[in-house]
């Protein structure tokens, strides 16, 4: 029984420290892309169902929450990056005891994070949405959706931390299987709650919570049935101080970086809200479509973290540069192809979210700027992933603070306030501009770090 289960566990894991980088990276990223797309479908299903069967106000209510949800969750999800780096490093170095302590610390952190998010989201939902200048006709529905959504945050955190641990050992297939099951249930419940039971935004929020609980249960069950250092044991669940500090060392800067991006997105969302419900609805629909492009590119960011970390743990330093070049090449191809396909098929895609021509026109304005240039965002993220895999997390945080958040806020609070520049197109252009500047700065940082580490490694 033990040998059979151990063999089953090993079948899903991946040695990233030998063999073809491109082949293994594609084997790693394709299931991860599919998993991320399915996870994104949770929110997309909400938006499509309410847009088609309830109305544009409900569509705006659900869509206007996206930036805020990302802001509140990204801080805690940054810790999962710290866990991912440590797990991959100890796995590559074959240090079972260190690996086990890291895994159990990460799961406890996810539980505490989920509880904190539930309290913040449920208590402060309305006031935060008011600060974001959410239109008055959208505010009640948006508040209701947000409060129900955050009830399920512990399950969301458990799934994300658990899947980060599995990714660190090369397992991206089983999280895909679990999200497939949860995603089908989510869509079915959306249709039941909204069309049959007439529950509006409350129905789609409840469906999302239930599906997140299912995916969390499945990933925890997977870890309970695994063997080796990633096996989850109830008696070992606690915070191991040294591992927690190491997770914080990498994860906290990643958390702040996530918040930095999210704050700028929230401020941009507030600026979009000032153009009225029609623009908010079009922006929300376009953002959901672009999200599929983003998560596809983000798979290579995750690959850069896990591949780099495992090879550092195994002292295969000569593979670090090859991993970066391979990930960058892949993300450029994926970003250009999918981003331009999203624009080319923009009208029929937006038609899945709304039948309003003016809402679709507003969505196409956003996609014409952001989706076309999305490869730049992927290139920037891969650089960040490589730096994090090397153990550097403060540096990309500081670069992002200046290059992304700083530039966007500077534009919004200066030129955007004046009539010639007070347009949605002007607002959206801040994205590609910030990506170019931030990517360039990350390249310089990587060159400095790589040179410094080469001396330490004697390479």
Q: What are the tens digits of pLDDT across the range 292-325?
A: 999 999 999 999 999 999 998 888 888 999 999 9
Run of H or E residues at 57: helix 56-63
Least confident stretch, 23-32, 33-42, 181-190:
33-42
**C-alpha to C-alpha distance for 126 and 121, rounded to whole angstroms:** 9
Would you place residue 30 in the very low, low, confident or very high pLDDT band (cuts 50, 70, 90)? very high
Residue with tokens 């994090």: 388
Res 436: pLDDT: 93
Percentage of the chain lying above the pLDDT 90 cut: 41
Tokens of 208: 């999302």
Would you place residue 9 in the very low, low, confident or very high pLDDT band (cuts 50, 70, 90)? low
Contact, 72 vs 289, CB < 8 A? Answer: no
| Three-class secondary structure of residue 418 per DSSP | coil
Would you place residue 12 in the very low, low, confident or very high pLDDT band (cuts 50, 70, 90)? confident
Give residue-wise pLDDT tens across range 159-216.
Answer: 999 999 999 999 999 988 998 898 889 889 988 998 888 888 888 889 989 999 999 9
Asked if pLDDT for residue 355 goes beyond 90, the answer is: no
Give residue-wise pLDDT tens across range 43-83.
Answer: 666 777 777 777 777 777 777 777 677 777 777 878 898 99
Tokens of 20: 């073809």
Residue with tokens 């991912």: 84
**C-alpha to C-alpha distance for 425 and 402, rounded to whole angstroms:** 22
Res 216: pLDDT: 94
Would you place residue 114 in the very low, low, confident or very high pLDDT band (cuts 50, 70, 90)? very high
**C-alpha to C-alpha distance for 303 and 305, rounded to whole angstroms:** 5
Contact, 293 vs 34, CB < 8 A? Answer: no
Mean pLDDT of the 339-345 span: 94
Indicate the average pLDDT of the chain: 86
Asked if pLDDT for residue 4 goes beyond 60, the answer is: no
Mean pLDDT of the 219-239 span: 91
* CA angle, residues 87, 91, 93, in degrees to nearest 5: 120
Res 326: pLDDT: 96
Res 135: pLDDT: 80
Contact, 436 vs 375, CB < 8 A? Answer: no
Contact, 217 vs 185, CB < 8 A? Answer: no
Asked if pLDDT for residue 381 goes beyond 60, the answer is: yes
Res 459: pLDDT: 55
Give residue-wise pLDDT tens across range 247-276.
Answer: 999 888 888 877 777 777 777 778 888 788
Res 220: pLDDT: 94
Res 238: pLDDT: 93
Give residue-wise pLDDT tens across range 115-158.
Answer: 998 998 888 888 888 887 778 888 888 888 889 989 999 999 99
Asked if pLDDT for residue 353 goes beyond 50, the answer is: yes
Res 166: pLDDT: 93
Tokens of 419: 């009539």
Give residue-wise pLDDT tens across range 95-104.
Answer: 999 999 999 9
Residues 6+ apart with CB under 8 A from 192: 203, 207
Residues 6+ apart with CB under 8 A from 267: 408, 409, 412
Q: How many CB atoms lie within 10 A of CB 89?
A: 26
Res 344: pLDDT: 94
Res 325: pLDDT: 95
Long-range contact list for 248-252, CB < 8 A, 24+ apart? 248/79, 248/82, 249/82, 249/393, 250/81, 250/82, 250/85, 250/86, 250/388, 250/391, 250/393, 251/78, 251/79, 251/80, 251/81, 251/82, 251/83, 251/393, 252/78, 252/79, 252/82, 252/393
Res 7: pLDDT: 55
Closest CA to 187 of 291, 280, 52, 343: 52
Would you place residue 400 in the very low, low, confident or very high pLDDT band (cuts 50, 70, 90)? confident
Res 3: pLDDT: 46
* CA angle, residues 424, 429, 435, in degrees to nearest 5: 145
Would you place residue 1 in the very low, low, confident or very high pLDDT band (cuts 50, 70, 90)? very low
């Amino acid at each position: 029984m033990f040998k059979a289960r151990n063999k089953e566990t090993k079948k899903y894991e991946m040695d990233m420290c030998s063999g073809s980088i491109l082949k293994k990276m594609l084997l790693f990223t394709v299931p991860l892309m599919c998993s991320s797309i399915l996870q994104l479908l949770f929110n997309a299903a909400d938006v499509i169902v309410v847009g088609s069967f309830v109305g544009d106000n409900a569509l705006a209510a659900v869509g206007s929450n996206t930036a805020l949800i990302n802001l509140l969750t990204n801080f805690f999800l940054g810790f999962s990056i710290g866990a991912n780096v440590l797990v991959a490093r100890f796995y590559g170095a074959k240090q079972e005891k260190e690996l086990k302590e890291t895994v159990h610390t990460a799961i406890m952190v996810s539980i505490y994070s989920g509880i904190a998010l539930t309290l913040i989201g449920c208590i402060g939902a309305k006031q935060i949405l008011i600060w974001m200048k959410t239109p008055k006709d959208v505010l009640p529905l948006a508040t209701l959706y947000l409060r129900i959504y955050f009830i399920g945050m512990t399950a969301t955190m458990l799934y994300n931390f658990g899947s980060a641990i599995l990714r660190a050992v090369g397992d991206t297939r089983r999280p895909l299987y679990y999200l497939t099951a949860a995603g089908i249930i989510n869509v079915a419940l959306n249709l039941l709650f909204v069309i049959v039971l007439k529950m509006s935004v409350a129905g789609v929020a409840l469906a999302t919570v239930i599906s997140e609980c299912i995916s969390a249960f499945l990933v925890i069950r997977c870890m309970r049935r695994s063997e080796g250092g990633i096996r989850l044991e109830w008696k070992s669940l606690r915070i191991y101080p040294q591992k927690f500090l190491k997770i914080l060392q990498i994860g906290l800067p990643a958390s702040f970086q996530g918040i930095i991006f999210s704050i700028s997105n929230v401020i941009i969302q507030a600026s979009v809200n000032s153009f009225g419900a029609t623009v908010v609805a079009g922006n929300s629909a376009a953002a959901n479509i672009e999200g599929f492009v983003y998560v596809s590119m983000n798979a290579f960011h995750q690959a850069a973290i896990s591949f780099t970390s495992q090879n550092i743990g195994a002292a295969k330093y000569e593979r670090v540069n090859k991993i970066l070049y391979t990930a960058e090449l892949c993300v450029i191809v994926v970003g250009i192809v999918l981003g331009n396909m999203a624009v080319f098929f923009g009208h029929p895609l937006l038609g899945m979210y709304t039948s309003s021509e003016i809402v679709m026109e507003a969505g196409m304005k956003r996609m014409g700027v952001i989706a076309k240039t999305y490869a730049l965002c992927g290139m920037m993220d891969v650089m960040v992933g490589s730096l994090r895999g090397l153990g550097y997390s403060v540096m990309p945080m500081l670069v992002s603070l200046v290059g992304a958040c700083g530039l966007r806020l500077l534009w919004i609070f200066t030129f955007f306030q004046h009539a010639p520049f007070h347009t949605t197109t002007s607002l959206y252009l801040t994205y590609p501009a910030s990506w170019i500047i931030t990517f360039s700065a990350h390249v310089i940082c990587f060159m400095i770090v790589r040179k410094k580490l080469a001396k330490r490694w004697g390479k």
